[in-house]
Structure 1
């Protein structure tokens, strides 16, 4: 696979709940710091980075000493409100170590449906990038429950990529790409390095493997890929276990699954 990401100027990275929290529910400080280092290093190279981060509900449930992740929507909203504070404080400390300020943006997918809202959000992102700030985005669970019930920010990250006209979206998950069958149940499953079209056959093949901490599965990631490819945006699904995978993707290594939507369409 001949992949070239030298053209990347604006990048969205999405990290799932299971990628930045321990099984205990506490925030994984090491992972947050690694993620901050990777994002800061990209900014040092002149690449504008927006980070879509899940994990607030899981972290909030632990902070409120709940015995398990909430199942009903109102309690999930409450946990998210508590957890978001803890999550942003942790991100702010880690990014400060690398001389970057972060900003919190709590959004809903309405930003693409409402023209005025979309323009306002785009202007806010542009100015934050101009000020060398790293925006950190999550769903506004207090007023919208879409991401609580479906998708774990996969679709939201694609909408953000479309709104800010990003060149690439990287979805970091607990699986290292799209397989021709479920690798958790089939040891013979093979990873697809490249996808040029998302169709019904691909959905049937993907199934819906759901991780323990997050709510999104491969179906929502395919939905995100479609949204990106419609606007000429490349998207990569990759394993978040080792966050150096971000550098490997940017160097064009064959990791994860690349959904071709942008300038790489002429290179495959």
Structure 2
């Protein structure tokens, strides 16, 4: 529990929610869960914490809009679904957070935005300005112009990685990834009754990597391996990271109370030379 105490003082927090957390099996939005997420984040902001939300779900919501149960193979169709779904997603977020007297802003990124020094600085300044105004930035990869997230290529490949890159960019204290699993297990919980939830990970070595396996859901792109990749990016940048079950987003408050929930990946000491690098 001693390691968990450091989470109580987290001031700048990046929260990532996946498609499986935001939607039902049929692809329709899980509005009750989204409202709990909005209420929880609003409470954090009322406590003067700075929050950035990285939200998947655009393609999944688009699929639900057209009653599609399987992600299409045609790239143009995926991008069209992302365009429809992102609009719907932000509309819902805007209404939910307005009910708690908070304003949201959409930030769509591609890998080229963070590859270029000038663009990266502009993105960082935008995040800082939004948080200074008390606005919640809601981040997603710009799927309508970037195929990397959809095809699992290069820098992002998924929003787990994107959330870690954002956490590194803004020098966050904590990254919380909400998923459909309780955390990292030493065996696949779907196949073994003897699996054990790992509470603390101090070093992401070959043993830890061997615990990951399998793909994400049909509505999302991530799996445990992408979360471990995100953990490596975050912790090496000096950011603590927690993987927890997002079935009840209020769990975020318990994590910040230092409770033993999910898997905590401990940050490495950040080198001064790396502090400004992304």
- TM-score class, shorter-chain normalisation, is over 0.9
8 Å contact from structure 2 (residues 184, 211) kept in 1:
no
Deviation at 1:117, TM superposition (A): 1.2
Identify which of 155, 167, 172 aligns with 1:161: 167
In structure 1, the gaps of 5 or more residues are 264-268
Matched, 1:250 2:266: no
Distance in 2 of aligned mates of 1:205 and 1:6: 28
Q: Deviations over 1:238-264 (max 9, x none)?
A: 00111121011000100100000068x
Q: Which residue of 2 aligns with 1:48?
A: 50
Q: Give the superposition deviation at 1:63.
A: 1.6
Does the CA-based 8 Å contact 1:174-1:211 persist in structure 2? Answer: no
- Following TM superposition, the consecutive aligned residue runs of length 4 or more in structure 1 with deviations greater than 6 angstroms are none
Aligned match of 1:94: 96
CA separation of 1:242 and 1:42: change in aligned 2, threshold 3 A: same
Give the TM-score, by structure 2 length: 0.91
Q: Does 1:78 align with 2:84?
A: no
Q: 1:232 is paired with a residue of what secondary structure?
A: coil
Structure 1 position 149, deviation (Å): 2.3
Asked whether 1:207 is paired with 2:213, we answer yes
Cα distance change of structure 1 residues 121 and 141 upon mapping to structure 2, 3 Å threshold: same
Q: Using the alignment, how far apart are the partners of 1:72 and 1:16 within structure 2?
A: 22
User: What CA distance in whole angstroms lies between the structure 2 residues aligned with 1:94 and 1:134?
Assistant: 12
Equivalent of 1:228 in 227, 234, 247: 234
Q: Distance in 2 between matches of 1:24 and 1:234?
A: 34
Q: Return 154-163 or 103-112, whichever deviates more.
A: 103-112
Is the alpha carbon distance of 1:165 and 1:233 closer, same or farther for their aligned partners in structure 2, counting shifts above 3 Å?
same
C-alpha root-mean-square deviation of aligned residues, in Å? 1.4
| From 20, 23, 30, the counterpart of 1:21 | 23
Query: Cα distance, 1:65 vs. partner?
Result: 4.0
> Of 129, 133, 136, which residue of structure 2 is paired with 1:134?
136
Q: How many residues were matched structurally? A: 263
Q: For 2:176, what is the secondary structure of its paired residue?
A: strand
Distance 1:223 1:20 in 2: 22
Is the 2:173–2:239 Cα contact (8 Å) retained in structure 1?
yes
1:266 aligned residue: none
What TM-score do you get using the length of structure 1 for normalisation?
0.94
The equivalent position to 2:62 in structure 1, one of 60, 63, 74, is 60
Task: Pick the aligned partner of 2:194 from 183, 188, 191.
Answer: 188
Structure 2 equivalent of residue 197 of structure 1: 203
Indicate the residue corresponding to 2:243 in structure 1.
237
Structure 1 residues 249 and 262, CA gap change in structure 2 (3 angstroms): farther
